[in-house]
Chain A
Amino acid sequence: MSNLTLTANSSITSLPAVPEWRRIMNRFLGHRGLMIGSVILAVIILAALFAPWLAPHDPYVQNVSQRMIPPIWHDKGTWNHILGTDKLGRDYLSRLLYGARISLTIGISAAVISGLIGTTLGVLAGYFGGRVDAVISYIITTRLALPVVLVALAMASLVGGSLQTVIVLLGLLLWDRFAVVARSTTQQLRDAEFIASAKVLGASTPYILIRELLPNILSALIVVMTLEMAHAILLEAALSFLGIGVQPPSPSWGLMVAEGKSYMFFQPWVIAIPGVALMVLVLAINLVGDGLRDMNAPEGRS
């Protein structure tokens, strides 16, 4: 840390400046949690993207003669089905790979939707204050008073579960933290002199909000985004497990756990495999989130 600060300072007087991306790279490589998290996350994302090429079987094809084959580390495991098959004889590894697509799609889409809603509300409340703030704060409080799981359950069973329903539902429910963080960071910056300077120059309010203010609160919002992504992924698994989220035969990890639950005493791997996958994904996202937060902490410069 200290030698980094030194280089940054000495660049003022004589040395050529250390380029911005170099300093970001150094900090990135210096943070172990962030490194581990991003590597795991990158692997899962690549696996999801290339699932059609990586998957040894079609995740939907049933084969009654190959039901409940255990994974390779069991005595009865076969190389043909490395992670075994489920009760309908579908290849577990293939389902797991395609399941990563569902988890990531839902995590990212829900976080983006809620991020847009929450950031817009929070920035408007923080920037304009007064009556705008009062109304938006009331909306935030109302949202905070709603139990997310209960509302999601009720709405999903009312509308009927599907991938789209889950995304929209979670997107509409998970924006509160974005709003709170955006509001407070905006309040801190609202009176900054660079904002005043842009106003005097005649910049429009949208310009000030999007080009001057937003880049300065983005890092805080990205951290929230990782948290909400993990949150959404877990909620999707829960909804799917309860049968009102993503519907069969989609290979959602939550659904895989649900379908395996009657076998869990004799073939625990049926739920252990999707369960561990879920845990690793959420852990990786949280490590990345924590790391990004640390990266954004001031380091000799504001």
Chain B
Amino acid sequence: MPDYALELSNLSRHFYLKNGAFKEPTLLKAVDGISLRIRPGETLGLVGESGCGKSTLAKMILGLLEPTDGDVLVNDKVRGASSRLAMARQLQPIFQDPYSSLNPRKTIEKIIRLPLQLHKVGDSNSQRKAVKEISDLVGLPERLLKQYPGQLSGGQRQRVAIARALILRPSILVCDEPTSALDVSVQAQILNLLMDLKKELNLTYLFISHNLGVVEHLVDRVAVMYRGKLVEQGTREEIFHHAKHPYTQALLSSVLTPDPALGVPEVLDSSSWDKAS
């Protein structure tokens, strides 16, 4: 058992934004020195407003984007040290948009089977059996396997994405807003499914969301991100009931409005928590 399933040490990613041909590019620190640790079997919720760098962070963890600085450690090993294939067997993503995460020209069966083929696991018979098993596990009816993604609903598509992510039996899932593209009623189903799978397969989750309400019932710990930095992290209890940082409090009040009169949160004065962090 590794000490940490996922460890980020001082992870940064900077972008240079071009401002036309004659102006100096401006520096955007999309992710700015983030250190985080997730224990095996733990679920960490990463929350923050839109554009604060959550997806950029996820992409670096998945190896889709090179960090400007810092390291990603998966099961105590530096990401760059092992091959992509080896990484893929430990860590898999669930993306936000189930409409773009499935190749429209492939059948569902081919999509779910692709990881086994790329990793040369078993022969075609055992692969097909594995596809059926995993579809069963994520609640995907077998008759859908012959269909194309365009013929499935959003919730069904997200189940396909989950099946594809799990078929290699990775221990860690990085979920980047896995439900925000779905109908509210479907959201709950997918979240419940993710929680059931976690128990059944003993998974570690990094669960990214801009919505504190979504993560409240799933996570063990919460990390709050603001403008590329972590401003606060703690257990669910600590964050939801004893948030210290003003930004966390503002985020909370925007989701959990106990007093309906408060309604929409006021326009936030960002300078106050910039100083605090």
Q: Using a CB–CB distance below 8 Å, which chain A residues touch chain B?
A: 8, 11-12, 16-17, 20, 192-194, 196-203, 207, 212, 215-216, 300-302
Q: A193-B100, A201-B115 are in contact. Are A301 and B150 (CB under 8 A)?
A: yes
B164 in contact (CB, < 8 A): yes
Chain A residues whose C-beta falls within 8 Å of the C-beta of B100 in the assembled complex: 192-194
B99 in contact (CB, < 8 A): yes
Cβ-neighbour of A201 out of B88, B101, B105, B161 (below 8 A): B88
Of chain A, the residue at the smallest CB distance from B119 is: A202
A194 touches B85 (CB 8 A): no
B244 in contact (CB, < 8 A): no
B63 in contact (CB, < 8 A): yes
Looking at the assembled complex, report how far the CB atom of B141 sits from the nearest CB atom of chain A, in whole angstroms: 10
Q: Chain A: interface secondary structure?
A: helix
4 tightest A-B CB contacts, nearest first? A301-B150, A193-B101, A202-B84, A202-B85
Cβ-neighbour of B146 out of A17, A198, A201, A207 (below 8 A): A17
Chain B residues whose C-beta falls within 8 Å of the C-beta of A200 in the assembled complex: 62-64, 84, 87-88, 91-93
B93 touches A197 (CB 8 A): yes
Q: A12-B151, A202-B83, A301-B148 are in contact. Are A197 and B104 (CB under 8 A)?
A: no
Of chain A, the residue at the smallest CB distance from B87 is: A202
8 Å CB contacts to A: which residues of B139-153?
Answer: 143, 146-153
A196 touches B93 (CB 8 A): yes
8 Å CB contacts to A: which residues of B93-114?
Answer: 93, 95-97, 99-106, 114
Distance, CA A196 to CA B103, complexed state (A)? 11
Of chain A, the residue at the smallest CB distance from B91 is: A200
Looking at the assembled complex, report how far the CB atom of A67 sits from the nearest CB atom of chain B, in whole angstroms: 57
Distance, CA A300 to CA B143, complexed state (A)? 20
Cβ-neighbour of A196 out of B83, B95, B150 (below 8 A): B95
* A-B contacts, 17 listed (Cβ < 8 Å): A12-B153, A16-B143, A17-B143, A193-B95, A193-B100, A193-B101, A194-B100, A194-B103, A196-B62, A196-B95, A197-B95, A200-B93, A201-B88, A216-B103, A300-B150, A301-B148, A302-B99
Of chain A, the residue at the smallest CB distance from B103 is: A194
Q: A200-B63, A202-B88 are in contact. Are A302 and B93 (CB under 8 A)?
A: no
Q: Using a CB–CB distance below 8 Å, which chain B residues touch chain A?
A: 59, 62-64, 83-85, 87-88, 91-93, 95-97, 99-106, 114-115, 118-119, 143, 146-153, 156, 161, 164
Distance, CA A300 to CA B156, complexed state (A)? 17
Looking at the assembled complex, report how far the CB atom of B134 sits from the nearest CB atom of chain A, in whole angstroms: 15
Distance, CA A248 to CA B256, complexed state (A)? 85
Chain B residues whose C-beta falls within 8 Å of the C-beta of A300 in the assembled complex: 150
A212 touches B115 (CB 8 A): no
Distance, CA A215 to CA B92, complexed state (A)? 24
Cβ-neighbour of A17 out of B63, B99, B147 (below 8 A): B147
Chain A residues whose C-beta falls within 8 Å of the C-beta of B102 in the assembled complex: 194
Distance, CA A300 to CA B153, complexed state (A)? 12
Chain B residues whose C-beta falls within 8 Å of the C-beta of A8 in the assembled complex: 151
Chain A residues whose C-beta falls within 8 Å of the C-beta of B103 in the assembled complex: 194, 212, 215-216
Distance, CA A27 to CA B127, complexed state (A)? 34
Of chain A, the residue at the smallest CB distance from B101 is: A193
B83 touches A198 (CB 8 A): no
Distance, CA A197 to CA B96, complexed state (A)? 12
Chain B residues whose C-beta falls within 8 Å of the C-beta of A194 in the assembled complex: 100-103
Distance, CA A201 to CA B103, complexed state (A)? 14
Distance, CA A93 to CA B43, complexed state (A)? 78
Distance, CA A292 to CA B148, complexed state (A)? 20
A301 touches B151 (CB 8 A): yes
Looking at the assembled complex, report how far the CB atom of A127 sits from the nearest CB atom of chain B, in whole angstroms: 14
Cβ-neighbour of A302 out of B87, B91, B150, B164 (below 8 A): B150
Distance, CA A17 to CA B152, complexed state (A)? 11
Distance, CA A72 to CA B15, complexed state (A)? 76
Looking at the assembled complex, report how far the CB atom of B43 sits from the nearest CB atom of chain A, in whole angstroms: 20
Looking at the assembled complex, report how far the CB atom of A230 sits from the nearest CB atom of chain B, in whole angstroms: 27
A302 touches B104 (CB 8 A): yes
Cβ-neighbour of B164 out of A16, A196, A197 (below 8 A): A197
Chain B residues whose C-beta falls within 8 Å of the C-beta of A202 in the assembled complex: 83-85, 87-88, 118-119
Looking at the assembled complex, report how far the CB atom of B6 sits from the nearest CB atom of chain A, in whole angstroms: 14
Distance, CA A202 to CA B62, complexed state (A)? 11
Of chain B, the residue at the smallest CB distance from A189 is: B100
